Structure 1
Amino acid sequence: MSDEWKSSSSSGEDAKSWKLLEKALLSSVQEQRRSRRWGIFFKLLTFIYLFGALALVLPVLDLKKASTTEAHTALIEIRGMIADREEASADKVVGSLRAAFEDTNTKGVILRINSPGGSPVQSGYIYDEIRRLRGEYPQTKVYAVISDLGASGAYYIASAADEIYADKASLVGSIGVTAASFGFVETMEKLGVERRVYTSGEHKAFLDPFQPQKEEETRFWKGVLDTTHRQFIESVKQGRGERLKADEHPELFSGLVWSGEQALQLGLVDALGSASYVAREVIGQKEMVDFTQRDTPFDRFAKRLGTSVADRIALWMGFQGPTLR
């Protein structure tokens, strides 16, 4: 009996030992997991801190980059879609222009353009500001230099400059206005979907892609686009003057686009050359200082998040407003 009790007691002690060992191992594993989680958290926190510090420092670096005590050529990039809250928005370009003109060491301003166009309003704001600054600082000339593409709203802006340069293979022109949409009426009928729209104005929903077009509304909308086109043409003629061979080539305002070599013959550009060529040979100051205002990394992230949602809604609705393209 005594031997059996001893054996049972020994087995019980072994079981307790294994449980204690198992508990210790589990505690160790849990501690390691907690340690890894805290490690990941602190690494992420460090990354966010560094990212934020970089976002704060970048504007300062840009400011230093755009300040010099030596004579220079001011460079302003107009890249991508010309629209509100984009890199080529009127706010950013106008701010860049004012900073460049106000710098007493600026001997000339180059607008380096690579854009398909965009908002007629944003383009008009920039056009007007260029002409105003030219009047306020007559000794500082503005040169538009088109690289790959200077079309529609981008050309609208370029026409405000003293001279326009392009590469022989650049695409130039597209003086026209477009507004795109879709029609889903027959699709809805096939699906058996009924469209219900409640308005307080007879034509309030005239751009609704889910309703049939009405002749008088289509005619009205065409008139709006024609008015915008006329304003575009008048601005280009005012900017280019007699250099533009519009009488011999009325197709200049048809929305067509030409190569830089053809644009030179049509009076759309003044000469062929790059930004560095204009700075060196025309302005006489090969040292270029970039005055372009750009988004911070945080701005770009927030903008992409917001505009992606808006773009999806616009795509779903099937409508796009008037655009200089």
Structure 2
Amino acid sequence: MHSDEWNEQPNRSSGAKDDGKAWQLLEKVALAGLQEQKRARRWGIFFKFLTFAYLFIAIALFSPMAGLKGGSAKTGPHTAVIEVRGMIADQEEASADNIIGGLRAAFEDENTKGVVLRINSPGGSPVQSGYVFDEILRLREKHPDIKVYAVITDLGASGAYYIASAADEIYADKASLVGSIGVTAASFGFVEAMGKVGVERRVYTSGEHKAFLDPFQPQKDSETEFWQSVLKTTHQQFIASVKKGRGERLKADEHPELFSGLVWSGEQALELGLIDKFGGTSYVAREVIGEENIVDFTPQETPFDRFAKRLGASVAEHLAMWMGVNGAAPALR
């Protein structure tokens, strides 16, 4: 072997070592860059979360919608107004807690000369409606000098009328929709559809009738009859409360269909004794109560409260569906 060949061999070895060191250096640089990106991403997420939490807390604490609408405006004699708007149900704007909270605040205010329930609702839960009905009667008895007036705007049906019937007097417009004194519970049946697509329903229960409201199983005559008896009992409770609130003003003997679930125009409702007179909130405040200064006592939730309630309700609903306890609850509609 020539001497120049021996001289080339060390050079090759040295070049390989240099290449290895270069690759190691590049690898370290690349890893360092990736780690830096990960750290930056984590800090970015942290600061975004911190900003979101700060804004959310600020809105919750300083939102002008928190508490009663009236706020500091409750000065001097006034007519107190509480809104009953939308579906009457737990966790909704027209829940019993919200309506009762507004009623109590209005009655406890020494400057309140009269209370108006301004109603625009299709009804909802018989339980929530019953709570409000009972509380109105209790407050009327506790504060006999303060009258309660229900004013139905577009719609005062079913559970909403249940609440209105507890008032001293009910007012509405000629074209308002009033009544619907009945109870409903509805769902769907998918038994044949499941058979056509080859899907088998498997339900495991403890209790012979635990799954009797399951829409994926055939109905049984005995269970249908039982469920109808539940609705009938709720309907009778509804009718008894309306009669208690309206008394002899109702023309039930002349119109047996009064409690059939039909809804009437304001003009028809006046003839049936479902309402007392025509008029709106301003009219009642000015001409009936005699105090046209109106203060809104409707409780208003903060964005934080609404978010928390909706999150809790959503979790509870999904848990109920997973456990198979979610059924078609009766509703006053």
- Give me the TM-score of the superposition, normalised by structure 2: 0.80
CA apart distance, 1:304 = 4.1
The one-letter amino acid paired with 2:62 is V
Q: Give the secondary-structure state (helix, strand or coil) at the position aligned to 1:263.
A: helix
**Number of aligned positions between the proteins:** 295
Q: Give the secondary-structure state (helix, strand or coil) at the position aligned to 1:121.
A: helix
Matched residues in 2 for 1:158 and 1:65: separation?
22
Identity of aligned residues (%): 75
Residues 146, 170 of structure 1: 8 Å contact kept: yes
Matched residues in 2 for 1:231 and 1:125: separation?
13
Can you list the C-alpha shifts for 1:181-228, whole angstroms capped at 9, x where unaligned? 111111111122222222222211111111111111100000000000
Residues 109, 142 of structure 1: 8 Å contact kept: yes
CA apart distance, 1:42 = 6.5
CA apart distance, 1:277 = 0.8
- Give me the TM-score of the superposition, normalised by structure 1: 0.82
Q: Which stretch shows the higher mean deviation, 150-159 or 52-61?
A: 52-61
The one-letter amino acid paired with 1:323 is A
Say whether 1:234 aligns with 2:240: yes
Structure 1 runs of 4+ with >6 Å offset? 37-44, 309-318
Matched residues in 2 for 1:94 and 1:88: separation?
10
Say whether 1:189 aligns with 2:195: yes
Equivalent residue in structure 2 for 1:323, among 321, 328, 331: 331
Which residue of structure 1 aligns with residue 61 of structure 2?
A: 56
Residues 75, 292 of structure 1: 8 Å contact kept: yes
Residues 209, 319 of structure 1: 8 Å contact kept: no
Q: Which stretch shows the higher mean deviation, 54-63 or 160-169?
A: 54-63
Say whether 1:299 aligns with 2:305: yes
Matched residues in 2 for 1:64 and 1:215: separation?
51
Which residue of structure 2 aligns with residue 110 of structure 1?
A: 116
CA apart distance, 1:47 = 6.2
Equivalent residue in structure 1 for 2:77, among 58, 71, 74: 71
Q: Give the secondary-structure state (helix, strand or coil) at the position aligned to 2:299.
A: coil
Matches within 5 A, 1:258-273: 258-273=264-279
Unaligned runs of 5+ in 1: 1-26
Structure 1 residues 312 and 269: CA distance shift in structure 2, 3 A: farther
Matched residues in 2 for 1:203 and 1:38: separation?
55
Question: Rg larger in 1 or in 2?
Answer: 2
The one-letter amino acid paired with 2:329 is G
Say whether 1:155 aligns with 2:135: no
Structure 1 residues 64 and 195: CA distance shift in structure 2, 3 A: closer
Unaligned runs of 5+ in 2: 1-32
Can you list the C-alpha shifts for 1:235-284, whole angstroms capped at 9, x where unaligned? 00110011111110111111110111111111110011111111111101
The one-letter amino acid paired with 1:239 is G
The one-letter amino acid paired with 1:269 is I
Q: Give the secondary-structure state (helix, strand or coil) at the position aligned to 2:63.
A: helix
Matched residues in 2 for 1:270 and 1:123: separation?
21
Q: Give the secondary-structure state (helix, strand or coil) at the position aligned to 1:107.
A: strand
Matched residues in 2 for 1:247 and 1:226: separation?
20
Structure 1 residues 264 and 228: CA distance shift in structure 2, 3 A: same
Which residue of structure 2 aligns with residue 119 of structure 1?
A: 125
